[in-house]
Structure 1
Amino acid sequence: MKWNSIVFKLGGTIFIILMCVILPLTYTIDQLFARFYFSEARHQIDQLAYQYSRTLTDLKDMDSLKTVARLTKTEICIIDREGKVLYTSNDQHLPQETKVSGNLLSSVYSGKAVKQDYFNPYNQKNYLASGKPLQIDDKVNGAILVFSKAEQIKQTIHHIELLLLASLLGALCMALGFTYIASKKLASPLLQMEKVTRDVAKGKFYRKVAITSNDEVGSLAAAINDLGHELEGYRNRQTEFLANISHDLRTPISYIKGYTQVIHDKLYKNEKEKDLYLSIILDEVNQLNVLVADLFELSKIDGGQLDLHFNWVNLHDLIENCLTKVGLKAKKKKLRLLKEIDDRIPFIYTDAVRLEQILMNLLENAIRYNRSNGDVKIAGYADKKKVNLVIEDTGIGISEHDLPYIFERFYKADKSRSDRQGSTGLGLSIVKQLVILLEGDIKVKSTLNKGTSFSITLPFRVRENS
C-alpha cells in the first residue's frame, strides 16, 4: 500500500481519532481506579480505627487486636498523649515504648482524627495511617492508630495497570484491524471512481461506476456515470460535426474548383452558360462564408472576445427590419410573414446587432424548414419584468428525440432538416449563447410535421426620461 494512497490517509485519520479517544480514556480509567482504590483503603482503615475507638473499653481486650490486624492485613497500635506506644500488634512495625513522631504525632496531640500518609522510620516503609482519639477507664488518654502498607496497595494498582495496558494493546490491535477494514471499505468506491474516470478519459465510455449507496458517495458515482454518458454523446456529436464540416467544405470547394476550371479552359458554350457557372461559384462562396462566419462566431464566444454594445433599442423597428430582410426568401417559398407585436412594448436595453442576429437566424430557419403556402409568425409582448418574443412556423417540426439536443453546437438534427443552403448545425448553438450573453433565456416547443415555436425572454428595464 502506497504511503500517499487514500487508503493509508483515511486509515491513518481513523486510527488517530480512535487513539485520541482510547488513550485519554485509558489514562482516565487508571487514575480514577487508583484514586478509588486508595480512597477505599483509607476508608477501611478509618472505619476500623473508628470501630475500635468506640468498642475498646478494657486493656485486656487489646490482645484481640493482633488477630484483627492479621485478618485485615493492617498494623494497630495505641499511643498515649506523649506519643509513646503503649501497645502494638507488631513489634517490628512500631516497637512498644517507642514514640511516634512527625505530623502523625502532631495530629494525635491535637485530639483530632488522624488520616494521612506515614513513613515509618523503624522499617523504612510507607503506610496509610488513620487514627481516632481513645479513652479507656481514665487510664489511657491517647489514640488508636491503624496502619496499612502502601506498598501492597501500589502492587494491587500495578497489577490493575498491567491489565489495563494489556487491554489497551488489545484495543490498539482491534483499532488497527477496524481501521484497515473501514478505510478499505470507504476508499473502495473512490478507487473505483478513479479507475473508471481514467478509463473514460481514455475514451472507454462504456465503463461505469457501481452505485452501492444512496449517500453522497453514491451521488458522486452517479455523477461520474452521467459525465461519461455526456462525454460519449459529446464525442459522437463532435465526430459527426467534423464529418459534416468536412462534407460542407468539400462540396462547395469541389463546385468552385470544377466550374472555375471550366471557365478557365473556356469550355462553356456561350456567355449565358458562363454567367450560370459564375452564379454557381458565387453561391458556393456564400455557403463557405456562412460556414466560416459561424465557426468564427463560436470561437469568439468561447474565448470571451465577443463585444456587446448595449443601448436603448426600438423593438418594433428592429423586428420590422428583420422581416424586410427575409421577405424575399419567404416570397419565393410562398410563405406568409405574420407579426403580432404589442404596441405597449417599450424601448428595451440590449445589443441591437446581436438581437437582430438571433431573430434573423430563427426566422431563416423557420423559412428554410417550412412548407410552401405556410406561415411564419413573430409575436411580442411584455410584462413587469420580462420582454417575450415568440417565432412560430408551420414547418416540418423537430422530432422528440432531437429536441433536447438542438442547441448543442456539435449536434445536427435529422438529415431531412438539412440542406446545403447554410445549414451547418451551428446556428442554434450560436443563438443560445447570444441569448445568454443578453441575460435572457430561450425555449423551444415542436411537433413533428406541424411546426416549431421558439420563445425568447429578455430582461425588461424602465427607460428613464432624459
Structure 2
Amino acid sequence: MTNNLFRKKFDFKSIKFRLWIAFIGFALILILLIWCLQIFFLNTYYAGMKKAQTTEIFSDIQETFVASEYDSATLKKKIAVESASNDLSIYVIDLSSGEFLIQQDSDEQSEETPGLSMRYSKELAELNTRLSHSPLDKATLEASSSHSSRRQIIGYASYLKNSDGENAYAMYIFAPLVPVRSTVLILRSQLIYITIISIILALALALYLSNRISRPIKAITSSAAKMGKGDYSVKFRGGQYSEINELAETLTRAEGELEKTDMYQKDLIANVSHDLRTPLTMIKSYAEMIRDLSGDNPPKRNAHLSVIIEETDRLNNLVNDMLNLSRMQSRKVVLDMSHFDLQETAESLVASYDILRESEGYHIRFKCEGGPFLIHGDEAKIKQVINNLVNNAIKYCGKDKVVLIKLRRNGKYARFSVTDHGQGIAPDELPHVWERYYKSSTHHVRSTEGSGLGLSIVKEILVLHKARFDVESTPGKGSTFWFELPLDKSKQSAPAGPTLNDRR
C-alpha cells in the first residue's frame, strides 16, 4: 500500500519527474563546466593572455619608437606608461655599450624594493641567453620568481632596431602572475553561491514547466477515461503547446466518430430488433392459424405456409447480410475470380425487377453504351453490388418511380451507375453513406425492411476488387451511385452500339 502510494506521488516515468531530472542535470553540468574553466584552466588561460599582451605591448613600443624617429626620451616615456598601466617591469640595454638604458619596474615592485633593483636579474640573464641563440630574434620565459618562489612570472625579450634597421637595443619585459591565485579563491567562493542559486532556479523552472505541460495532459487523460465509459459530452482542451493542442483536437474528432458509431450501433440494434420481431411475429401468428384454423383446409394452409416461408427467407437474408459483411471486413472472403460480361450480368438482374413494373408501376431504365464489357472479377459478388445499388435506388427514388441504370466505357474502365430522382442526400451525410450502420434521414417512397448494411456490403465488395466508387447527390434532385472496374484488354472486342432497355 505504501509502495503504491509512493509510486503515485513519485512516478519516475512521468513528464514532471523527467523534466526535473533534465533541468537539474543541465544546471549541474553547466556549473561543473564553469568550475572547471574558472578553477582548473584559469591559470593556463591567464598565462596565455599575458604572453599575448606582452607581445602586443612590445610591438606598440616598437612602433612608437619608430614614429618618434628613434628618440630615446619618447621611448622612456612610453615604457613608463606601459609599465604603470599593465604592472610590468621593462628593461632596455644598449647593445653598443652593454649598459642599461632603461630600468622601469612596476609600482608594486618599486615599493617592495626601493632604489635601483635588479629584481629579475637571474631571469634577465636566462632570457638574454635564449635571445642570443634564437633565430627569430625573440625569446620567452615562464618560471617562478627568484625573489619569491610563490610568485610566477613570464618574460619576453626582443630587439629594438635603429634607423638603419640594425638591432640597437635589447628590451626585456616581465609580467607577474601572482593575482591569479587570489582571483581563483574569490571565484571559488562566488561559484558556491552561484551553484546553490542555479540549482534552486532549475528546480523552480522545472516545477513550473512540468506543471504547465502535465496539467493539460492529465485533463485530457481524465476526459478520455470518461469517454471510455460512454460519456461523449466531455471536452478535450489543449494548452500552450502545439503538440498538446493537436492531441486534444484528434481526440475530439475521435470522440465525434465514436459517438456516431455508437449511435449507428444503437440504430442497428433497433432496426435488427424490429426486422427480427416482425417476421417472427408473422411466423408465430401464421403457425397458430395453421394449428387452430386452416390445418384441415389445404388452400388456406398452403397460403399461410407461404407467408411463413417468405418471412423465414427474409430472416435468412438479414442474417446472411450481417455475416457476409463481417467476413468481408475481416478479409476472410476469397473471391471466385472469372471473366464475364458486365453487360449481360446487369441485363439479367434488371429483368428480375419486372415484377415491380407490373405490381407497383416502377420504371427501371437500363442504358448500355459501347459494350461488351468483359471484366475479371467475382461475378456473384458484382451481382450483389448491382442488386444492392438498384434496391437502394428503388427505396429512395422520387414520386416518378424512375431508376436510371447506365453502363459505359470510361477510358480503360467500365463505369456502372444507378441514378434516382429522390430527395437526395444532405452534404454532411455523404461521407457516411458507406458506413456499416448508416441509414439516410431521407424519406423513402417504398417501405423498406433493410438494416442499413446494403451499401456497406457494396463498399467492402468493391474494395476487395480494388474498384473505384463514389456517390454524387444534389438535395431535392436525387443521387447517383457509381463504380468502375478495369476492362480486361485481352478479352475485349470491338465496341457495340448503344442499347436501351426500358422496363416500364
TM normalised by structure 2 equals: 0.73
Q: What's the CA shift for 1:249?
A: 1.5
Counterpart residue type for residue 331 of structure 1: E
Of stretches 160-169 and 406-415 in structure 1, the one that deviates more from structure 2 is 160-169
**Partners of 1:42 and 1:448 in 2: CA distance:** 90
Deviations along 1:71-102, one digit per CA (max 9) or x if unpaired, are: 97666789999x9x9x996679x988985699
Q: Deviations over 1:95-140 (max 9, x none)?
A: 88985699546325548544321224564233223445799xxxxx
Q: Provide the rounded CA distance (Å) in 2 between the counterparts of 1:316 and 1:69.
A: 109
**Separation in 1, partners of 2:370, 2:86:** 111
Which residue pairs with 1:156 in the alignment? 183
- Deviation, 1:200, is 1.3
* CA spacing shift, 1:131–1:450, aligned 2, 3 Å: closer
Distance change in 2, residues 1:105/1:347 (3 Å): same
Q: 1:116 aligns with which of 141, 151, 155?
A: 141
How far did 1:351 drift? 2.0
Shift of 1:23: 6.2
**For the structure 1 residues 298 and 76, does the alpha-carbon distance in structure 2 shift closer, same or farther, using more than 3 Å as the test?**
same
Which residue matches 1:7?
16
Instruction: Indicate conservation of the 8 Å contact 2:127/2:156, yes or no.
Output: no
Aligned to 2:496: none
Contact 1:38 1:153 in 2 (8 A): no
1:129 corresponds to which letter in structure 2?
G
Asked if structure 2 preserves the Cα contact closer than 8 Å seen for 1:439 and 1:459, the reply is: no
Change (3 A) 1:78 1:413: closer
Task: State the secondary structure of the residue aligned to 1:2.
Answer: coil
Q: Does 1:365 align with 2:396?
A: no
For the aligned residue pairs, the C-alpha RMSD in angstroms reads 4.7
Output the amino acid matched with 1:128: I
Give the letter aligned to residue 115 of structure 1. T
Contact 1:326 1:364 in 2 (8 A): no
* Residue correspondence of structure 1 range 50-199 to structure 2 within 5 A: 104=127, 106-107=129-130, 110=133, 113-120=138-145, 123-125=148-150, 126-131=152-157, 147-160=174-187, 163=190, 166-167=193-194, 170-199=197-226
After the TM superposition, which residues 134-283 of structure 1 pair with which residues of structure 2 at under 5 Å, given as runs? 147-160=174-187, 163=190, 166-167=193-194, 170-211=197-238, 215-265=242-292, 270-283=297-310
Q: 1:6 Cα shift?
A: 2.2
Q: For each residue in 1:192-221, what CA deviation from the matched residue of structure 2 results, as whole angstroms up to 9, or x when unmatched?
A: 332222221121111111255694543332
Partner of 1:462: 489
1:44-55 alignment runs, 5 A limit? 47=57
Conservation of the 8 A alpha-carbon contact between 2:340 and 2:374: yes
1:342 is aligned to 2:369 = yes
Matches of 1:98 and 1:163, distance apart in 2:
38
Name whichever of 9-18 and 376-385 sits farther off.
9-18
The one-letter code of the counterpart of 2:11 is K
> What is the identity percentage for the equivalent residue pairs of Structure 1 and Structure 2?
23
- TM-superposition CA deviations, 1:404-426 (whole Å, max 9, x none): 43322112334954977641211
Moved more, 283-292 or 443-452: 443-452
- State the AA in 2 paired with 1:311: S
State the distance in 2 between where 1:43 and 1:305 align. 83
User: Structure 1 residues 45 and 252 mapped into 2: Cα distance closer, same or farther (>3 Å)?
Assistant: closer
Is 233-242 or 413-422 further displaced after alignment?
A: 413-422
Tell whether 2:299 aligns with 1:293.
no
1:389-409 CA-partner distances (Å, limit 9, x unpaired): 111234565566655433221
Deviates more, 1:300-309 or 1:398-407: 398-407
**Distance change >3 Å, CA 424–CA 395, structure 1 → 2:** same
Amino acid at match of 1:276: A
Match of 1:333 among 349, 356, 360: 360
Deviation at 1:357, TM superposition (A): 0.6
Tell me the SS of whatever aligns to 2:344. helix
Mapping 1:375-386, distance limit 5 Å: 375-386=402-413
Q: What is the aligned counterpart of 2:335 among 290, 308, 322?
A: 308
Provide the C-alpha distance between the structure 1 equivalents of 2:222 and 2:199, rounded to a whole number of angstroms.
33
When residues 262 and 10 of structure 1 are mapped into structure 2, their CA distance, relative to the original with a 3 A threshold, is farther
Q: Equivalent residue of 1:358, what SS?
A: helix
Deviation at 1:319, TM superposition (A): 0.8
318-327 or 23-32: bigger deviation: 23-32
> What secondary structure does 1:463 align onto?
helix
Counterpart residue type for residue 118 of structure 1: A
List per-residue Cα deviations over 1:1-30 (Å, max 9, x = no partner): 522112333554566567777766886688
Deviation at 1:298, TM superposition (A): 1.3
Structure 2's unaligned 5+ residue stretches are: 1-9, 162-167, 494-504
Partner Cα separation in structure 1 for residue 33 and residue 453 of structure 2: 67
Q: Give unmatched runs, 5+ long, in structure 1.
A: 136-140
Q: Number of matched residues?
A: 455
Between the aligned partners of 2:445 and 2:399, the Cα distance in structure 1 is 17
Q: Deviations over 1:167-195 (max 9, x none)?
A: 56545544443343334334443333322
* Range with bigger deviation, 311-320 or 285-294: 311-320
Alignment CA distance shift 1:77-1:442 (3 Å): closer
Rounded to whole Å, the distance in 1 between the matches of 2:479 and 2:131 is 110
Does the aligned pair in 1 maintain the 2:472–2:479 contact within 8 Å?
Answer: yes
For 2:140, give the aligned amino acid. Answer: K
TM-score for the superposition, normalised by structure 1? 0.78
| Cα distance change on mapping 1:288 and 1:143 into 2, 3 Å | same
Q: 1:392 is matched with which residue?
A: 419
Asked whether the 8 Å contact 1:334–1:372 carries over to 2, the reply is no
State the SS of the aligned residue for 1:195. Answer: helix
Correspondence for 1:138: none
Instruction: Tell whether the 8 Å contact from 1:316 to 1:341 is kept in structure 2 after alignment.
Output: yes
The change in CA–CA distance for 1:346 and 1:265 in structure 2 (over 3 A counts) is: closer
**What residue identity is the alignment partner of 2:141?**
Q
Distance 1:322 1:215, change over 3 A: same
More off after superposition, 209-218 vs 248-257:
209-218
Sort the Cα spacing of 1:401 and 1:79 in 2 relative to 1 into closer, same or farther, 3 A. Answer: closer
1:160 & 1:350 partners in 2: Cα distance? Answer: 85
- CA-CA distance at 1:300 after TM superposition: 0.6
Superposed CA deviations along residues 275-323 of structure 1, whole A, max 9, x for unmatched, are 2211221111011011111111112112211111333221111111111
